Chain A
Amino acid sequence: KAGVTQTPRYLIKTRGQQVTLSCSPISGHRSVSWYQQTPGQGLQFLFEYFSETQRNKGNFPGRFSGRQFSNSRSEMNVSTLELGDSALYLCASSLDRTAYGYTFGSGTRLTVV
């Protein structure tokens, strides 16, 4: 059974640019969440999508956005990149959050220069 797949694994972008990250959840999982991991702030929740609708959102500026497609694949977009956006972005999918928790992907390492 394939796990959660995130692409690309590594990205280098310049300040002011925008970036799109992709996540393919485990087959059958309709919930997809995104988290940002930095050394200073740790792991922080960005947003969650379920059946193509944003179900929950963390405390991030509007430059961070996401969407989910009918096949449950999800993308997140960061516009007008800042140096502080450099982080590991983790995607997680779930069949039932309470019963099973989340399965995480290996992440996309974004570096903004």
Chain B
Amino acid sequence: GNSVTQMEGPVTLSEEAFLTINCTYTATGYPSLFWYVQYPGEGLQLLLKATKADDKGSNKGFEATYRKETTSFHLEKGSVQVSDSAVYFCAPAESQGNLIFGKGTKLSVKP
């Protein structure tokens, strides 16, 4: 099956800093790729997605580009806010449709 390797955390940044969370995956074919975010005590929220090579997913200032050459889907944001503090999960889809989740990267943003 597919697998995913996600940058280990925790990551601590100051407000307005640039964020990158690395994600690489192994897969047969070209799976749909997702980033989910989990705030304390809550379930997962879909942050962004890309369904084919070179697609760029974006939402709330976050972006990620589907790079099939490097099998990567790195998450970026130009200027983080305190409210972005959460755990971020990279998740490629298996061929059967279920998601494979990375270990998660905890982000803390300090004012």
Residues of A within 8 A of B75 (CB): none
User: Which residue of the partner chain A has the closest CB to B89?
Assistant: A43
Minimum CB distance partner of B48 in chain A: A101
Q: Is the CB of A98 within 8 A of B98?
A: no
Give the number of residues in A that approach B within 8 Å (Cβ atoms): 26
Q: Which of A82-113 contact B (CB under 8 A)?
A: 90, 92, 97-107
Question: Chain A 31-56 against B: per-residue CB contact (8 Å), 1 yes, 0 no?
Answer: 10101000000111100100000011
A-B contact count (CB 8 A): 57
- Nearest B residue (CB) for A6: B43
Contacts of B44 in A (CB 8 A): 43, 90, 92, 104
Chain B 80-105 against A: per-residue CB contact (8 Å), 1 yes, 0 no? 00000000010001001111111110
Interface of B with A (CB < 8 Å)? 32, 34, 36, 42-46, 49, 51, 89, 93, 96-104
Residues of A within 8 A of B (CB): 4, 6, 31, 33, 35, 42-45, 48, 55-56, 58, 90, 92, 97-107
